[in-house]
A and B are shown apart, each in its own frame.
Chain A
Amino acid sequence: MSMKILVCIKQVPDAKDVRLDPVTNTMARDGVQSIMNPYDRHALEEAVRLKEAHGGSVTVLSMGPPQTEATLRDAISCGADEAVLVSDRAFAGADTWATTYTLAKAIEKVGGCDLILCGKQAIDGDTAQVGPGLAERLSLPYITCVRKVTGCEPGLIRVERLMDDGYDEVELPLPALLTVVKEINEPRIPSLKGKMRAKSAKIVTLTAEAIGADPAALGLKGSTTQVVRVFSPEARGAREMLTGTVDEQVAQLVVRLEKIL
């Protein structure tokens, strides 16, 4: 059995660097780094492990501005065989509706595959909507929040999905789409050989025209949702540091807890 696996990867600003200053309402972005969406790194790792176990190939695909190439090279150094960058000014401002349209068009263009893996969510938007939306656009069955692949046979995959109160084990036919949580694996560090390969690898770049997309369905124009306001979360009320001996601190805390419990 040989599987053609495609992994959707997003380049995101490192969340810990991004915050709005509650006083000036401006964003502090000293040294914001662009990184591979952490969940997608786990999706990539799972894809590479499946390839190693069953044979086949791993293609990574990303929609993003030209500098996303760095993230795709990172993916190659971690075991991806091929990388496709879907990049066009027309994609800017895409919500998840326009993103799934674009990704679906790009996937049709690069040809079918047996399995698509996505991260559970991207840490910039935190929507977790692209995986399921993309699956529906491609008419594929899908499972979200996969924490373990328990079996993989020709035309069939078995997985455990994380639920709020436990987990479900399910079986679904291939081709299919899965979104993964971080618990699924520990991603590898790129090898020296991988890094060398990443440097020279050719990255296929596709424009809106190349994927045959309808311009009206792209980017801001093709989006169903619209951001009307961005603001910083309310600053918390001033904190209170309790003072005194351990006994005194505990006593003060108990009084305060009684009020809210």
Chain B
Amino acid sequence: MLRIDKEACIGCGLCEQNCAFGAITVVDGTARVGDNCTLCGTCVDNCEVGALSIEREQKEKGDFGDWSGVWVFAEFRHGRIAPVSFELLGIGRKLADKRGVKLAAVLLGNGLGDAPRKLVGYGADRVYVAEGPALAHFTDDVYGNVLADLVREHKPEIVLAGATAIGRSFIPRVATILGTGLTADCTDLDIRAEDGALLQTRPAFGGNIMATIVCPHTRPQMSTVRPMVMKPNGFDPSRQGEIIAVTPAPERLASRVKVLRSVAEKGEQVNLTEADVVVAGGRGLGDPKGFDLVRELADVLGGAVAASRAAVDSGWIPYPHQVGQTGKTVCPKLYITCGISGAIQHVVGMRSSDTIVAINKDPEAPIFDVATYGLVGDLFEILPKLIATMREKRA
């Protein structure tokens, strides 16, 4: 329940303004809560006179003594380790060192080659490896069974996975099996000094607000972590670590789902979410040929091509390239927009990029509000020059 201290409330209306759900109204100088309160807590944090509080029943703090260690799910698909796995080892290493515990990776798949060694080189003290044909293709049930069983057996206090298509699909099942909390798509992780709890920070409302979340009563503490946010440590070939082969029980390897084919889309369809540089085109390109300029710049910079929904809807480029609320979320080092107005639905998908360059002929275009560098002008003049100069510099 949201409690309002009628004595303390001064009826300033800050909470009313603050509530995304329109659940608070000030009546006769005091705040009142409606039925649609979701107890999100925003108003409590914002009340300047401390009149609002959320009543929580004090639960017994569980005894988490036997839960120790940080784990990372290492994603392996189509013959390679997903780069996010190295990023997870980077942040996982930091968390493990802060807690004074070991860092382990869990690797599932078939034909893994030297992948376990690689994970050690990137920071894992231990790698649990389950290999075999039943794990060749990702299926939610089998991957979930194997990971959940390992967690039950070894009791790590923290389990991290990439907020990728795979991680966001099967990790919620693992958390449900284990009866513990899961925080999606985190962009920051830290250890709370007082009690060693994992502080999980993530964007909500399409990146318009940030929330820090804890998992107080259950273990492990689980998060999926947004790719391209955490920094991997460098690869150290001399690092030592234990590689432990795991043999899951046959019935845990039986999937109800049959994978008929698994298609990696090559070439132009570079994995947008993993690219360091992204060049994005919008309606300002005028026609599908306009994208040739965008592609050329992306090629010169070794980047990937993205698009606004307007460009995708016009049929100039396929949907997998769409960035935004209804497309992908990206946060590359460099995001260059060409002829994109900067509608909020596009911006939420790219606003966390390190550097944003906007090229638009309209000086009032909202894209300039989020840009690091803005160029006002005709993209058909700017892009060819930019491409030529960059090509020269990089040659």
Interface residues, chain A, with chain B CB atoms under 8 Å away? 13, 15-16, 18-20, 25-29, 32, 34, 38, 64-67, 89, 92-97, 100, 123-133, 135-137, 141-145, 158, 161-173, 182-183, 219-221, 223-233, 236-237, 239-242, 246-247, 249-251, 253-254, 256-258, 260-261
Distance from B251 Cβ to chain A, minimum over Cβ atoms (Å): 15
- Given contacts A16-B345, A135-B173, A141-B256, whether A251 and B208 have CB atoms under 8 Å apart is no
Say yes or no: is B206 at the interface (Cβ < 8 Å to chain A): yes
Q: Measured between alpha carbons, how far is A236 from B344 in the docked complex, in Å? A: 15
CB <8 Å contact, B325 and A123: yes
CB <8 Å contact, A182 and B326: yes
Name the interface size band of chain B: 35 or more
Q: Measured between alpha carbons, how far is A162 from B321 in the docked complex, in Å? A: 13
CB <8 Å contact, B184 and A260: no
What are the residues of chain B within 8 A of A228 when measuring CB–CB?
199, 212-214
Q: Which residue of A lies closest to B177 (CB)?
A: A136
Q: Which residue of B lies closest to A65 (CB)?
A: B36
CB <8 Å contact, B377 and A132: no
What are the residues of chain B within 8 A of A25 when measuring CB–CB?
46
Q: Which residue of A lies closest to B256 (CB)?
A: A141
- Given contacts A129-B184, A137-B176, A166-B262, whether A219 and B39 have CB atoms under 8 Å apart is yes
What are the residues of chain B within 8 A of A223 when measuring CB–CB?
181
CB <8 Å contact, A26 and B368: no
What are the residues of chain B within 8 A of A171 when measuring CB–CB?
257-258, 260
CB <8 Å contact, B185 and A126: yes
- Given contacts A125-B204, A225-B183, whether A15 and B325 have CB atoms under 8 Å apart is yes
Q: Which residue of B lies closest to A135 (CB)?
A: B173
CB <8 Å contact, A229 and B39: no
SS class, residues of chain A in contact with chain B: mixed
CB <8 Å contact, A232 and B165: no
Q: Which residue of A lies closest to B333 (CB)?
A: A260
**6 new A-B pairs (CB below 8 Å) besides A141-B141, A165-B269, A253-B386?**
A126-B205, A136-B177, A224-B217, A233-B210, A246-B377, A261-B334
Q: Measured between alpha carbons, how far is A220 from B360 in the docked complex, in Å? A: 46
Q: Which residue of A lies closest to B199 (CB)?
A: A228
- Given contacts A67-B36, A95-B181, A132-B169, whether A28 and B256 have CB atoms under 8 Å apart is no
Q: Which residue of B lies closest to A225 (CB)?
A: B181
CB <8 Å contact, A229 and B38: no
CB <8 Å contact, A27 and B20: yes
Say yes or no: is B240 at the interface (Cβ < 8 Å to chain A): no
Please, could you name 12 A-B residue pairs with CB atoms under 8 Å apart, sorted by A? A15-B205, A27-B209, A29-B17, A67-B36, A93-B39, A144-B165, A144-B168, A145-B169, A167-B265, A169-B263, A233-B352, A239-B371
CB <8 Å contact, B258 and A239: no
CB <8 Å contact, B211 and A132: no
Distance from B304 Cβ to chain A, minimum over Cβ atoms (Å): 12
CB <8 Å contact, A29 and B172: no
CB-defined interface of B34-49 with A at 8 Å, one 1/0 digit per residue? 1111111110011000
